[in-house]
Amino acid sequence: MEQNFHEITVEQLCKVINLLHPCMDDYLYVYDFINDFYYISPHAKQRFCIPDNTFHDVVASHGLFVYPADLAALQEDLNALLEGRRQFHNLEYRWLDLDRQPVWINCRGYVVRDQEKALYMIGCINEIGAAQKADNVSGLLGSSSLQTYMDTVPVPFPDGYLLHLGLDDFKEINEKLGIEYGDTVLRQTAECISKCIFPSQKLYRTVADEFLILDFQGGSCKDAKALYRAIQREIIHFVEECRYEAVFTISGGILESSKIKDYSFYDVMKLSEFSLNEAKRQGKNRCYCFCQEDYEAFLKRKKLTQFLRQAVYQDCKGFEAYFQPLFHARTNTLYGAETLMRFHSPEGSMVSPVEFIPILEETGLIIPVGRWILEQALTACKCIMETIPDFRISINVSYVQVIKSDIINEIVSAANAHQVPPANVIVELTESGLLESNPHFTRLLAKLRENGIRLALDDFGTGYSNFHYLHDLRPDIIKIDRSFTAKALANEYEYNLLDLISKMVHTLNLNVCVEGIETSNERNQIQNLAPDYIQGFYFGKPCPYQQFTENYIK
């Protein structure tokens, strides 16, 4: 039969392609070598930036839509086919889509010859990076099938919900028990879910360890929660049947149809993914029903994160160093200042440190911003020391800086560069951010003592292991948190407790700094406890350097 292939004309093959292309996702093509002519399934025009589904000057035309880095490999393969060195074309390379983004394809083709002369090549192109329509591991349809279905649902969507499910810490199962066992868990999870849903509900495996149930039959958030709990029970039963070989839980994000405003597949999945992530963020093994207010807060945080990144890339534009005075408690004379970070968003508003500092820590941006604030602090300290030689500057250091950067050497180097004696520098560590028995902290403390830099333990009274930290860290200064101070001022028992702590700290030859003093009456009450240093709005609010020097130095 092969001997008669050359009797089939290119025109006939084009008609066959036209006949078959509505039945296929892939793309059939024919390349006529004699007439330098190319024909491909018409629907390829909807995916790739080809000049048309039919064109001449084939090699030059491919230069318009083949990813430039892959042109040489394609040319070499075509030459081998034309010269008879190769009979079959099988090449993985990239075409450009309508947005001129590269898309990986596999192009296969068989060359038909008349004796030794190449007449034409007939073949098929398929996307090798395309999303799967079904998943053989779980036995369910995949996300592309979900998208296809949702594109057929009339908008606004009928009443109902999407329940987006995700296994908690699934990666640990693969790591401890292997990928094959992980696949077994996915199959069994799909079965557990399938047992709980009605025939009218649709189930898909979207990505990795995530599943999605679609219900457009009038169900509510209450119904979705009941379904989630049923699935939860099935998962527990499966874990028990396996004798706890793999212990895992499942979280769920619920998105009601009525909460959807934009009906595009991308936006719907974005909201359902947020709901699942929120369930995991709240502790896992639970479900969360989409709330617009929560989502807006999430978007606000995301926007702030973008602002912070832009600020760091622009040499910390928008950040400003503020300084709050520290006073000797007995003499009410200036002891030093705590350096505080402030941020002005590009929109003009001042952002609270409670909002932006956790983001800096989570993203690691605290490291470059920490270096910047260190420079501001030591520059200010050096200038003030010209008037007050023993002026102390206090610098807050995040646990992220301790673990992920060489912060102590950076402080020592910066102090030397600014000619600030290490004894004039105080490093403040927040107790709530400390990690027990962490070698990074052990090295930090050793280097602090080695270089003569003082350590202050901030927010004392907000954690649970205060005395443990006193023993391990041996700080120079204990800073009593404002919340603890406020309780002591309002309650006799708390006041006596603070008095006992202050006496114990002094017994250890450590200093006490009480934060949060806002009135003269509070100052008088706290001074009876004999603290060493005192700080609060009564003495001065945090302010920029120029205002600080005007108020406290000049």
Q: What are phi and psi of 419, to 5 degrees?
A: 60, 45
Q: How far apart are CA 394 and CA 377, in angstroms?
A: 8
DSSP category for residue 330: T
CA distances from 99 to 25, 406, 415, 530 (A): 20, 44, 52, 71
Check residues 288 and 481 and name the one with the higher pLDDT.
Answer: 288
Confidence of residue 389 (pLDDT cuts 50, 70, 90): very high
Helix pair angle (545-552, 366-385), 10° resolution: 30
Residues 6 or more apart whose CB falls under 8 angstroms from that of 263 comprise 155, 156, 157
Q: How far apart are CA 339 and CA 544, in angstroms?
A: 10
Burial call 260-282: b when 16+ CB within 10 Å, e when fewer: beeeeeeebbebbbbbbbbbbee
CATH, domain range 315-552: 3.20.20.450
Confidence of residue 163 (pLDDT cuts 50, 70, 90): very high
Least-confidence region, from 287-296, 432-441, 471-480, 483-492: 432-441
Q: Residue 276 pLDDT more than 90?
A: yes
Q: Which pLDDT tens digit goes with each residue over 177-195?
A: 898 889 999 999 999 999 9
Check residues 344 and 433 and name the one with the higher pLDDT.
Answer: 344
Helix pair angle (265-281, 143-150), 10° resolution: 130
Residues 6 or more apart whose CB falls under 8 angstroms from that of 243 comprise none
**What is the reported pLDDT for 290?**
97
Q: Residue 106 pLDDT more than 80?
A: yes
Superfamily of chain region 134-290: Reverse transcriptase/Diguanylate cyclase domain (3.30.70.270)
On whether the CB atoms of residues 257 and 216 are closer than 8 A, the answer is: yes
Residues 6 or more apart whose CB falls under 8 angstroms from that of 473 comprise 429, 434, 441, 445, 455, 457
Sorted by where each begins, the domain ranges of the chain are: 2-127, 134-290, 315-552
Q: What are phi and psi of 397, to 5 degrees?
A: -120, 130
Q: Per residue, what are the HEC states of 217-282?
A: CCCCHHHHHHHHHHHHHHHHHHHHHCCCCCCCCEEEEEEEHHHCCCCCHHHHHHHHHHHHHHHHHC
Of the candidates 347, 358, 351, 354, the one whose C-alpha atom is nearest the C-alpha of residue 320 is 351
Residue type, 522: E
Q: Residue 388 pLDDT more than 90?
A: yes
Q: How far is CA 63 from the centre of its chain?
A: 38
Superfamily of chain region 2-127: PAS domain (3.30.450.20)
Q: What does the pLDDT average to over 459-476? A: 66
| Cα Rg of the chain, angstroms | 34
Burial call 507-517: b when 16+ CB within 10 Å, e when fewer: eeebbbbbbbb
**What is the reported pLDDT for 464?**
47
**Helix, strand, coil tally for the chain in percent (to 5):** 45, 25, 30
Across-strand partners of 256?
161
Residues 6 or more apart whose CB falls under 8 angstroms from that of 174 comprise 181, 182
Q: Residue 3 pLDDT more than 60?
A: no
Q: How far apart are CA 337 and CA 9, in angstroms?
A: 88
Q: Exposed, middle or buried by CB within 10 Å (0-12, 13-18, 19+), for 34? A: exposed
Q: Which residue has the tokens 């005395």?
A: 467
Q: Which pLDDT tens digit goes with each residue over 406-448?
A: 888 899 999 999 999 999 999 998 755 554 546 667 777 788 8
Confidence of residue 4 (pLDDT cuts 50, 70, 90): low
Least-confidence region, from 4-13, 80-89, 214-223, 478-487: 4-13
**What is the reported pLDDT for 21?**
84
Q: How far apart are CA 467 and CA 461, in angstroms?
A: 10
Tokens representing residue 26 in the block: 């892939």
Residue type, 447: K
On whether the CB atoms of residues 359 and 365 are closer than 8 A, the answer is: yes
- Structural element, H or E, at residue 494: helix 492-507
Of the candidates 340, 354, 358, the one whose C-alpha atom is nearest the C-alpha of residue 399 is 358
On whether the CB atoms of residues 74 and 62 are closer than 8 A, the answer is: yes
Tokens representing residue 503 in the block: 């006496």
How much of the chain exceeds pLDDT 70, in percent?
Answer: 95
Q: Residue 361 pLDDT more than 80?
A: yes
**What is the reported pLDDT for 2?**
47
Q: pTM above 0.95?
A: no
Beta strands in 27-130 (DSSP E): 27-32, 37-40, 54-56, 88-96, 102-114, 117-127
The average confidence (pLDDT) of the chain is 90
Q: Which pLDDT tens digit goes with each residue over 366-377?
A: 999 999 999 999
**What is the reported pLDDT for 186?**
92
Counting every residue written for the chain, the total comes to 554
Residues 6 or more apart whose CB falls under 8 angstroms from that of 132 comprise 142, 144
